Amino acid sequence: MISTNFRPAVFALATASLTLGCHRDFRRIACTTGALKACFGTEVTFRRIPGDSTRITIRIQNLQGTLSADNTAWSQLLYIRVFRNTNPPVGFPNGGSVTPTWDASVQTLGPGAPGSGWHNAGTNSPSFVSEWVGVGGSYGTNVGYVSGRDVTYNQVANVGAGLRTYTAAATAPGWVTFSFKAGRPVTTGDVGVQISAWATNQPAASLPVPQQVGCTLIGGGGANACTFLPYSFP
């Protein structure tokens, strides 16, 4: 069951208007709240393109093992959820695969084909009728995920297709990118962006049942706003 209980949280943005062609936030570290804290480097960009549409780009890093604020033994990011407002509709892609791209420093983890296992679920939420993009699935299944330093449940179970962003502690890790087009001008008031991972403080070798953790980057509604830290990696 995927929680949609989120509280509005506005992401810090570098510009105030899309009229300049690019609406971009500062790079931030977003950590989940509660006793188990999973942290992610995040960046969301809105760019106007010809035809009065908008390119929305979400870049993500799993900072497990990179950042001391992350206290998980492992985590695997399984959802980048983007909710669209339906009045008027923004014209997200509907259905089909959603294949991310990634930096050369990102390690690909089998057995699935690199970058595979992501899809657009097109499901609904209470606050936004939504079309999700960047959806993996449950832990222990053949889905796409983004991991940090340590071995995850999916690696022990030998399932799925992971992308490891860890390079070294306190060192800038690689980025995984999801990018798609909305069919009209879009601002942060039109969409909600949420992240959701499965994580635990127990080593994956024992196949512990992980806990789902997540938080809101922009928009949404509900109780799980991210805790934001400044992005300070070189």
- pLDDT given at position 13: 27
Whether 2 maps to a domain, the answer reads: no
- pLDDT given at position 3: 35
- pLDDT given at position 155: 96
Rounded CA-CA distance 164/2 in Å is 23
Nearest to 30 by CA among 234, 230, 227: 227
At 121-151, the pLDDT tens digits run 765 555 555 555 567 778 989 999 999 999 9
- pLDDT given at position 26: 72
At 83-115, the pLDDT tens digits run 776 666 666 655 556 789 999 999 999 999 999
Q: Cα separations (Å) of 127 from 4, 6, 7, 9, 187?
A: 8, 9, 10, 14, 17
Whether 46 maps to a domain, the answer reads: yes
Burial 108-127 (b: 16+ CB within 10 A, else e): ebeebebbbbbbbbeeebeb
Whether 5 maps to a domain, the answer reads: no
Whether 8 maps to a domain, the answer reads: no
State which amino acid sits at residue 218.
Answer: I
- pLDDT given at position 199: 97
**Residue with token string 């930096």:** 103
Whether 6 maps to a domain, the answer reads: no
Q: Which domain holds residue 59?
A: 18-230
**How many domains does the structure of the chain reveal?**
1
pTM of the entire structure?
0.84
Whether 84 maps to a domain, the answer reads: yes
Q: Which residues of the chain have pLDDT under 50?
A: 1-20, 221-222
